Structure 1
Amino acid sequence: MVTATSIDARIKEAKRRLAQERGTVVKDWGGRIPIALIYPNSYYIGMSNLGFQSIYGLTNIDDRFVCERVFFEEAGTRDVRAPMPLVGLESQRPLADYAVLAFSISYEMDYVNVARTLKAAGVPLYACDRGDNDPLVIFGGPCAITNPEPIAPFFDAIAIGEGETMLAAMLDIVYDGAQGARGEVLQALAKVPGVYVPVLHPDNGRVARQYVHNLDDYATTTRVLTPETSLSDMHVIEVARGCGRGCRFCIAGYVFRPMRPRLLASLEAQAEQGLKLTDRIGLLGAAVADHPQLDELVQWLYKKGARVSISSLRIDNLTDAILSGLDKGGVRNVTVAPEAGSERLRRFVNKRLDEDQILAGIERVARFGIRQMKFYYIVGLPTEADEDAQAIVDLTLKGRAIVERLKAPTRFVLDISPFVPKPGTAFQWLPMARPEVTRQRLNLIARQLRPRGVEVKWDPPEESEVQTLLSRGGRELARVISAVPDNSTGAWRRTLRDFNVNVESYVYKPYPLLGHLPWDVVDTGLDPRFFRLELRKSYEDRLSRGCPTVPDPQRPCHLCGVC
């Protein structure tokens, strides 16, 4: 139960974190509407999320509002189901004091934490049960763009797309309707392009994803520096948004189209601001290495005395200029994503990358003395066989041989994820591989590579099963999510059994190509016929060309339907 002691402990922890931060916005509540910006996971994970930080900064620019951060953290007891006191980080006020509860949700596995947060706050879980005196509950983030339906009944409004495009209009409506009826506010929100109001569905039909056409209109950078993140005291800059490569399993390659690089001058200006606080600069994006001026940016940052880190690089785009800048800036880790070990399977997912390119990239990294290379792989992809898993082993050992020949210090880390079919991708109709098959292939890889000094780690296939269920389900799952006491595999299995959920139909069977899909409420802008074409190309061993790195508005591409 929530006690005075537990509340005091939470307040003490909030004050400790605030003392370490730089860039925190603290406002007087007088005359302002309070908004709780909630990340349904820990402070460490939430503050590592650049989208969460950006919305925090943009909302606080509007002086009509005070926006404070809230994070979901366990109570620190042996009973993980124990309720935890939730307070705003900046003022340590309880959630009941806020007029708006705005969730930023990036991962389906956080859905249980959403339900637990609302319950702990004493807010009616379902939107249909709330009255005029209850807070407005909204959410945005990647999960809103792919498939918001499993948790749609919990929310009054959902922002479909990139938040910068909708934020100002939504804030105006909240301000104007502060003393009005909830129904009138919801009707007004439903008229904002990109805003989905579930209680009015299907009256407001499909909701079109909104995206920023000119990224340089908004600075997407770290707003609050803190040592308690995966990017400790690093000023992170979004270099570009979207990815034009078109990997058929990847959300970033589809629902964040088109690829939009920022201007070099804009990136330099954002970096200048960050360098006033720290010498650590992080470059973030789904396709950082595809930025046409990345070489110049890295060299400019080095000359400014910055220590540069890059989120993930294309192994075929690892130029000497980039590696030189990273090396001089003290970077010791490089992350790449071959995704599959065999060229056949890479072609299946539309990854234009052959073995020679991968090995050449490894050699280039080793020659610069980079201490660690992390490789992202997926196991359990459609059509995958044991030989494809063995190909990961063979490719890794060839890379190790290069490192050993050069006597380089580079160690290898393999980070492997089970395939999860995601809405809004060409593989959205396909089933997940069964956990026993995935685990057998993971073990095949690990038992050969770990003795050779290669670190091999992976996400549990059983957790990926739940993620697939939540990715591909509909509103009928809301009652299940509300009943799951915690995110453990055992809790999920018991609850799914109690509710007689047919996991097989959600996870291990293909969805019909021409049938209704739970996420059809979202119009990402991509033509379903394009997805079906891409899926057919996979099985025909055909590659597709990527999007232009810099879209030409005078000569738009109409292949997928976005441009």
Structure 2
Amino acid sequence: MERRYSIVERAQALLADEQGTLYKDAPYRVALCYPSPYHVGMSSLGYQAIYGEVHAHAGVTAERAFLPDDVEEYRRTRTPLFTLETQSPVSEFPLLAFSVAYELELTGLFSMLELARIPLLREERTERHPLIVAGGPLTFSNPDPLEPFVDVLVQGEAEDLIHVLLDAAPSMDKDALLTHLAGIPGFRVPGRGGARYHVAKSTDARLPARSAIITPHTELRSMFLIEPERGCSRGCHYCVMRRTTNGGMRTVPPERVLSLIPEHARRVGLVGAAVTDHPRIVELLRTLVDAGREVGVSSLRADRLTQELVDQLRRGGATNLTVAADGASQRMRDLVDRKHSEEQIVRAANFARTAGMRQLKVYNVVGLPLEEDADVDELARFTTELSRIMPVALGVAPFVAKRNTPLDGAPFAGIREVESRLERLRRGLKGRAEVRPTSARWAWVEYMLAQCGPEAGLAAMDAWKAGGSFAAFKRAFQERGCRPYMARRVEDGRRKATAWPVVDGVAPTAA
């Protein structure tokens, strides 16, 4: 009979398979928490970078905790949430630092606090409870729904701010610490101040972020992650990481990137918002591949691809080429200032075929402002054209407007409308290309969290307590009176000219 391993034994097995795990005896301990399971959290370069930064701080150590794969098993067995390194209860740590990537991870934070037996609401916690801090990619757009649950928000790039926090936290009581942090740019202390939407920028000396740990149990199996660039020089209107965010793109010389890759790393992932915009990307790829390493690259831009670049990716082990169009038609791409044309994407497909790749993956969105059926039909026509070059998998996500972008406040197209367009696309591509859509319902939930304030976080808590279904979220948003950003502006009679781009003389409305 096959042995059933305990929760702790499974955690120890994950630990045993890691390379580079950091251990340190120090008087002050931080539980670095990720509100998604281990295989997701350990694929996050930002999370790994902060793990390394905490360990580099004198007198401080970090241990990791993740949302369990099976939360119900923890509840059923009354197992408290524990850290991976020493299997210590998370509640025993003086500071819990959460890295939150996007809106729907909020419920993971609730589950982790519940399993740690820590009250969810900030106002229900006392001095005896750990300090709850949250940062991560979500803070670049709208961290407001986190406010009811955290003591401190770290907004933007955290490599420098984490040291500011750790300089003060071990020697101050909670009240004094919160007052201190509220006066420092980059920190927001709910109820005490701090600049809202201040996105901190790390010093260039902290770059590049890179993995501390390599593990086979991730989305990117046994891959060492490093960023050859940070940020983006482009101005896509839907994107949080555009050129106006933190000074645009900052590049790292290939020589420095190569010097930081450990000898044992046989698979290397180059990660960033616009990796192929790096002026020396082909040189970096060629050097890695010539050394016998497999290489993966995030954020391939069709207009930057060349046959040589794609050939190097193929030599590095890639079997699929992935690009993003991010607009159903050229009219929609022009609307969001996405600098791609059909000709460039066709050229990318031909590069992939010549290199011997098996499939072209194209990411797109539906539901942009001013989008019509004709735009969706154009996407079906163009995808059919691509499928004549090589097999195509089309990933399609409903558009969700993010705060602090030019499309901030743009309305959600509507669940029925998005589903109708997805069905129209499926019919148009039946037998020609694989269509992989994401849920319109959960995109609407993401939209509400992205465009509402702290009350949306409370609604998410209500929905989580009620089982976390879509119906529970819909009911909770209604009961908490959640109103998206633009809807509130219109109802208050304060509607102003938006920063939305104009196409054919018409701007989107909030209807």
Q: TM-score, normalised by structure 2?
A: 0.91
Task: Map Cα deviations across residues 541-563 of structure 1 (whole Å, 9 max, x no partner).
Answer: 99xxxxxxxxxxxxxxxxxxxxx
Structure 1 partner of 2:459: 480
Structure 2 partner of 1:329: 316
Shift of 1:218: 3.0
Q: 2:470 aligns with which of 456, 476, 489?
A: 489
Structure 1 partner of 2:101: 106
Segment drifting more, 361-370 vs 42-51: 361-370
Task: Map Cα deviations across residues 509-543 of structure 1 (whole Å, 9 max, x no partner).
Answer: 585599889xxxxxxxxxx99xx44x24456499x
Q: 2:445 aligns with which of 448, 457, 466?
A: 466
Residue 3 of structure 2 is aligned to residue 13 of structure 1: no
In the alignment, the residues of structure 1 paired with residue 196 and residue 238 of structure 2 have an alpha-carbon distance, to the nearest angstrom, of 23
Task: Map Cα deviations across residues 13-63 of structure 1 (whole Å, 9 max, x no partner).
Answer: 1101001111111234xx521111110011111111110011011111224
Task: Map Cα deviations across residues 291-328 of structure 1 (whole Å, 9 max, x no partner).
Answer: 01111111111221111111121112111221121122
Structure 1 partner of 2:361: 374
Which amino acid in 2 is paired with 1:15?
Answer: Q
How do residues 352-391 of structure 1 correspond to structure 2 at under 5 angstroms?
Answer: 352-391=339-378
Q: Is the 8 A contact 2:65 2:84 kept in 1?
A: yes
Structure 2 partner of 1:211: 201
Compared CA separation, residues 365 and 511, structure 1 to 2 (3 A): farther
Aligned-residue identity in percent: 31
Structure 2 partner of 1:448: 428
Compared CA separation, residues 500 and 124, structure 1 to 2 (3 A): closer
In the alignment, the residues of structure 2 paired with residue 465 and residue 248 of structure 1 have an alpha-carbon distance, to the nearest angstrom, of 19
Q: Is the 8 A contact 2:140 2:240 kept in 1?
A: no
Which amino acid in 2 is paired with 1:20?
Answer: D
Q: Is the 8 A contact 1:341 1:388 kept in 2?
A: yes
Task: Map Cα deviations across residues 111-142 of structure 1 (whole Å, 9 max, x no partner).
Answer: 12212222222223222333222111101011
Q: Is the 8 A contact 2:185 2:195 kept in 1?
A: no
Which amino acid in 2 is paired with 1:237?
Answer: I
Q: 1:506 aligns with which of 474, 479, 484?
A: 484
SS in 2 for 1:122: coil
How do residues 538-553 of structure 1 correspond to structure 2 at under 5 angstroms?
Answer: 538=503, 540=505
Task: Map Cα deviations across residues 313-350 of structure 1 (whole Å, 9 max, x no partner).
Answer: 11121112211211222211211001123111110110
Q: Is the 8 A contact 1:54 1:221 kept in 2?
A: yes
Q: 2:395 aligns with which of 393, 410, 415?
A: 415
Q: Is the 8 A contact 1:190 1:196 kept in 2?
A: yes
Compared CA separation, residues 208 and 47, structure 1 to 2 (3 A): same
Structure 2 partner of 1:242: 231
SS in 2 for 1:163: coil
Task: Map Cα deviations across residues 464-514 of structure 1 (whole Å, 9 max, x no partner).
Answer: 1110111111122333222223443233234345x2545xx4289585599
Equivalences, count: 501
Which amino acid in 2 is paired with 1:335?
Answer: T
In the alignment, the residues of structure 2 paired with residue 470 and residue 341 of structure 1 have an alpha-carbon distance, to the nearest angstrom, of 25
In the alignment, the residues of structure 2 paired with residue 538 and residue 165 of structure 1 have an alpha-carbon distance, to the nearest angstrom, of 41
Structure 1 partner of 2:180: 188
Structure 2 partner of 1:149: 144
Compared CA separation, residues 307 and 82, structure 1 to 2 (3 A): same
In the alignment, the residues of structure 2 paired with residue 541 and residue 318 of structure 1 have an alpha-carbon distance, to the nearest angstrom, of 33
Question: What is the CA RMSD across the aligned residues, in angstroms?
Answer: 2.7
Compared CA separation, residues 265 and 349, structure 1 to 2 (3 A): same
SS in 2 for 1:113: helix
Structure 2 partner of 1:162: 157
In the alignment, the residues of structure 2 paired with residue 166 and residue 463 of structure 1 have an alpha-carbon distance, to the nearest angstrom, of 33
Which amino acid in 2 is paired with 1:22?
Answer: Q
Structure 2 partner of 1:23: 20
Residue 26 of structure 2 is aligned to residue 47 of structure 1: no
Task: Map Cα deviations across residues 338-388 of structure 1 (whole Å, 9 max, x no partner).
Answer: 112311111011012222222122112211111121111001010001111
Task: Map Cα deviations across residues 92-114 of structure 1 (whole Å, 9 max, x no partner).
Answer: 11111111010000010011221
Q: Is the 8 A contact 2:328 2:366 kept in 1?
A: no
In the alignment, the residues of structure 1 paired with residue 73 and residue 7 of structure 2 have an alpha-carbon distance, to the nearest angstrom, of 17
In the alignment, the residues of structure 1 paired with residue 291 and residue 355 of structure 2 have an alpha-carbon distance, to the nearest angstrom, of 21
Structure 2 runs not aligned, ≥5 long: none
Shift of 1:423: 0.4
Q: Is the 8 A contact 2:293 2:316 kept in 1?
A: yes
Shift of 1:75: 3.3
How do residues 15-414 of structure 1 correspond to structure 2 at under 5 angstroms?
Answer: 15-28=12-25, 31-75=26-70, 77=72, 85-177=80-172, 181-201=173-193, 204-206=194-196, 208-214=198-204, 216-253=205-242, 254-271=244-261, 273=262, 276-401=263-388, 403=389, 410-414=390-394
Structure 2 partner of 1:549: none
In the alignment, the residues of structure 2 paired with residue 43 and residue 339 of structure 1 have an alpha-carbon distance, to the nearest angstrom, of 29
Q: Is the 8 A contact 1:166 1:192 kept in 2?
A: no
In the alignment, the residues of structure 2 paired with residue 86 and residue 158 of structure 1 have an alpha-carbon distance, to the nearest angstrom, of 22
Compared CA separation, residues 141 and 77, structure 1 to 2 (3 A): closer
Q: Which has the higher contact order (CA 8 A, sep 6+)?
A: 1
In the alignment, the residues of structure 1 paired with residue 491 and residue 50 of structure 2 have an alpha-carbon distance, to the nearest angstrom, of 36
Which amino acid in 1 is paired with 2:300?
Answer: L
Shift of 1:213: 4.3
Q: TM-score, normalised by structure 1?
A: 0.83
Task: Map Cα deviations across residues 254-302 of structure 1 (whole Å, 9 max, x no partner).
Answer: 535421111222112123x2xx122211111111111011111111112
Shift of 1:445: 1.3
In the alignment, the residues of structure 1 paired with residue 217 and residue 246 of structure 2 have an alpha-carbon distance, to the nearest angstrom, of 28
Shift of 1:165: 2.2
Compared CA separation, residues 539 and 90, structure 1 to 2 (3 A): farther
Structure 1 runs not aligned, ≥5 long: 1-5, 404-409, 518-527, 543-563
Shift of 1:418: 0.2
In the alignment, the residues of structure 1 paired with residue 162 and residue 114 of structure 2 have an alpha-carbon distance, to the nearest angstrom, of 26
In the alignment, the residues of structure 1 paired with residue 268 and residue 411 of structure 2 have an alpha-carbon distance, to the nearest angstrom, of 40
